[in-house]
């Protein structure tokens, strides 16, 4: 059996999006900046897409900027808010320890430039505490950046409450909603954010395209100079086929959201219940306040990369936060932030479901994952020590 369970990494393109991509590439090849009718037809389609995406987010069309994806959108939002902050003499930025690297690395860069960057901890549930955030905010704060949902453990942050705290203090609020859009309800008015980043390939659209919502009036400076496209905020000819496919995929994801959420929540809970029967393992992140398709576990006594390779042999595509899969010596910063010690964090497994996954596939994973874990534990000196009492179980 072949099971694709790495939908948080990327998704298969929806058939409707793929067809829309081909159709736009074939028929709307004109440059939206050109004056002739080919160009103007392309321009109309571009603006239709912008309007559709804006409507789906509860935003105005002119608040939507098309980008190359979530990372660019995160970078531009944070750097723009920081730039204005610096002009006003406000140089504090508050974020969390579990953000995506697109946010964390941008913040590191700002820190090197003199910004005071505060990364709030999260609880063992993988959720930031509002009281911690409230305490961190002061008159010097120019930006709060908190992700909507975490990419590794799927935990959903209290973005609406955060938005309220920021609005009361007139502090700009950016949320990386790359994992949330198309997977849970996302509305910029409800959140009360000033910036929101999204990426098409996380909800069945193509790779290399995304969008940044910027509330009217919030600062926005270009990262890429060289043209008047996107109202001067991003130079470069727009990738219209990709943008059209993103709009189609997003529309379908949002329209089918209630049924997808219901199905995935059921499949997720079944998978969690099945894997929890493995001794000495633990679910990462809050059980309920998590994305409908996210399952993340740590298994004691084994290492994640070998687990992924063996699962791949069984036809299961999964992911892990072990050091060996990241190319560094340290396991995932998210797992460390929720209090998993190194020894245990190395043995993590992330299975992320999408609308294409079936119950048969869940049953297959419930059957195969414990076998592979057992096989690896059998050759693990750590597991032997645990079983012989020479080492204390952590999970």
Q: Does 382 bind another protein (CB under 8 A)?
A: yes
Closer by beta carbon to another protein, 327 or else 389: 327
Would you say 247 and 49 are in contact if contact means Cβ atoms under 8 Å apart? yes
Q: Which stretch binds another protein (CB under 8 A): 62-70, 91-99, 123-131, 323-331?
A: 323-331
Would you say 151 and 197 are in contact if contact means Cβ atoms under 8 Å apart? no
User: How far is 193 from 172, CA to CA, in rounded Å?
Assistant: 7
Q: Does 313 bind another protein (CB under 8 A)?
A: yes
Q: Work out how close the CB of 78 gets to another protein at its nearest, in angstroms, rounded to a whole number.
A: 24
The tokens describing 41, both together, are 């037809």
User: 3-class DSSP state for residue 357?
Assistant: coil
Q: Work out how close the CB of 342 gets to another protein at its nearest, in angstroms, rounded to a whole number.
A: 4
**What are the start-end ranges of the H helices in 170-239?**
188-191
The tokens describing 347, both together, are 């043995």
- The residue within the footprint of another protein, chosen from 230, 303, 361, 368 (CB under 8 A), is 303
Residue whose tokens read 């938005």: 163
User: How far is 36 from 105, CA to CA, in rounded Å?
Assistant: 42
Q: Does 309 bind another protein (CB under 8 A)?
A: yes
User: How far is 201 from 33, CA to CA, in rounded Å?
Assistant: 26
Would you say 250 and 53 are in contact if contact means Cβ atoms under 8 Å apart? yes
Instruction: Provide DSSP, 273-299.
Output: HHHTTSSSEEE-S-SSSB-TTEEEEEE
Q: Does 6 bind another protein (CB under 8 A)?
A: no
Point out the catalytic residue in the list 142, 166, 193, 324.
Answer: 324
Q: Does 322 bind another protein (CB under 8 A)?
A: yes
Q: Does 383 bind another protein (CB under 8 A)?
A: yes
- The residue within the footprint of another protein, chosen from 323, 334, 365, 395 (CB under 8 A), is 323
Q: Does 384 bind another protein (CB under 8 A)?
A: yes
195-199 vs 172-176, strand pairing mode: parallel
> Catalytic residue at 298?
no
Q: Does 329 bind another protein (CB under 8 A)?
A: yes
User: How far is 71 from 52, CA to CA, in rounded Å?
Assistant: 22
Q: Work out how close the CB of 48 gets to another protein at its nearest, in angstroms, rounded to a whole number.
A: 41
User: How far is 29 from 8, CA to CA, in rounded Å?
Assistant: 31
Q: Does 390 bind another protein (CB under 8 A)?
A: no
> How many residues of this chain bind another protein (CB under 8 A)?
29
Q: Does 10 bind another protein (CB under 8 A)?
A: no
Closer by beta carbon to another protein, 173 or else 383: 383
- The residue within the footprint of another protein, chosen from 139, 312, 359, 360 (CB under 8 A), is 312
Closer by beta carbon to another protein, 141 or else 380: 380
Q: Does 328 bind another protein (CB under 8 A)?
A: yes
- The residue within the footprint of another protein, chosen from 41, 132, 161, 305 (CB under 8 A), is 305
Q: Does 311 bind another protein (CB under 8 A)?
A: no
Nearest Cα neighbor of 98 from 176, 186, 37 is: 176
Q: Which stretch binds another protein (CB under 8 A): 105-113, 249-257, 281-289, 342-350?
A: 342-350
Would you say 196 and 172 are in contact if contact means Cβ atoms under 8 Å apart? no
Closer by beta carbon to another protein, 290 or else 377: 377
Radius of gyration of the chain (CA): 22
User: 3-class DSSP state for residue 96?
Assistant: strand
Q: Does 4 bind another protein (CB under 8 A)?
A: no
Q: Does 324 bind another protein (CB under 8 A)?
A: yes
Q: Work out how close the CB of 105 gets to another protein at its nearest, in angstroms, rounded to a whole number.
A: 15
- The residue within the footprint of another protein, chosen from 44, 381, 390, 393 (CB under 8 A), is 381
3-state helix vs strand vs coil in the chain, percent to 5: 45, 15, 40
Cβ neighbours of residue 371 under 8 Å, at least 6 residues apart? none
In Å, how far from its chain's centre is CA 323? 20
Q: Does 19 bind another protein (CB under 8 A)?
A: no
Closer by beta carbon to another protein, 60 or else 105: 105
| Helix (H), strand (E) at residue 145 | strand 141-145
- The residue within the footprint of another protein, chosen from 116, 343, 363, 370 (CB under 8 A), is 343
Site residues for another protein per CB under 8 A? 301-306, 309-310, 312-313, 322-325, 327-331, 341-343, 346, 379-384
**So which residues are the catalytic ones?**
324
């Amino acid at each position: 059996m072949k099971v694709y369970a790495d939908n948080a990494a990327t998704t298969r393109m929806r058939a409707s999006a793929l067809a829309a991509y081909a159709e736009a590439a074939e028929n709307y090849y004109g440059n939206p900046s050109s004056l002739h009718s080919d160009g103007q037809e392309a321009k109309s389609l571009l603006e239709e897409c912008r309007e559709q995406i804006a409507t789906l987010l509860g935003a105005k069309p002119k608040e939507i900027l098309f980008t190359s994806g979530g990372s660019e959108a995160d970078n531009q939002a944070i750097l723009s808010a920081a730039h204005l902050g610096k002009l006003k003499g406000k140089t504090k930025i508050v974020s969390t320890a579990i953000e995506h690297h697109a946010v964390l690395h941008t913040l590191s860069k700002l820190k090197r430039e003199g910004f005071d960057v505060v990364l709030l901890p999260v609880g063992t549930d993988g959720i930031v505490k509002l009281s911690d955030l409230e305490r961190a905010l002061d008159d010097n704060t120019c930006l709060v950046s908190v992700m909507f949902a975490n990419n590794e453990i799927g935990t959903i942050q209290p973005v609406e409450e955060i938005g309220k705290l920021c609005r009361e203090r007139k502090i700009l609020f950016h949320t990386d909603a790359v994992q949330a859009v198309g997977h849970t309800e996302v509305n910029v008015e409800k959140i009360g954010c000033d910036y929101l980043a999204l990426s098409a390939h996380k909800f069945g659209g193509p790779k290399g395209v995304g969008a940044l919502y910027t509330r009217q009036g919030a600062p926005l400076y270009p990262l890429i100079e060289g043209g008047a496209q996107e109202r001067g905020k991003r130079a470069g000819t727009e990738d219209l086929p990709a943008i059209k496919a993103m709009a189609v995929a997003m529309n379908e994801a949002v329209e089918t959201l209630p049924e997808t959420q219901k199905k995935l929540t059921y499949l997720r809970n079944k998978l969690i219940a099945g894997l929890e029967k493995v001794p000495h393992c633990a679910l990462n992140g809050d059980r309920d306040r998590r994305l409908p398709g996210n399952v993340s576990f740590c298994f004691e006594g084994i290492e994640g990369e070998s687990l992924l390779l063996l699962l791949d042999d069984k036809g299961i595509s999964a992911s892990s936060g072990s050091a060996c899969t990241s190319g560094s010596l340290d396991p995932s910063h998210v797992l460390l932030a929720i209090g998993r010690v190194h020894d245990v964090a190395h043995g993590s497994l992330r299975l992320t479901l999408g609308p294409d996954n079936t119950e048969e596939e869940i049953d297959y994973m419930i059957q195969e994952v414990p076998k592979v874990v057992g096989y690896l534990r059998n050759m693990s000196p750590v597991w032997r020590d645990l079983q012989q009492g020479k080492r204390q179980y952590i999970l």
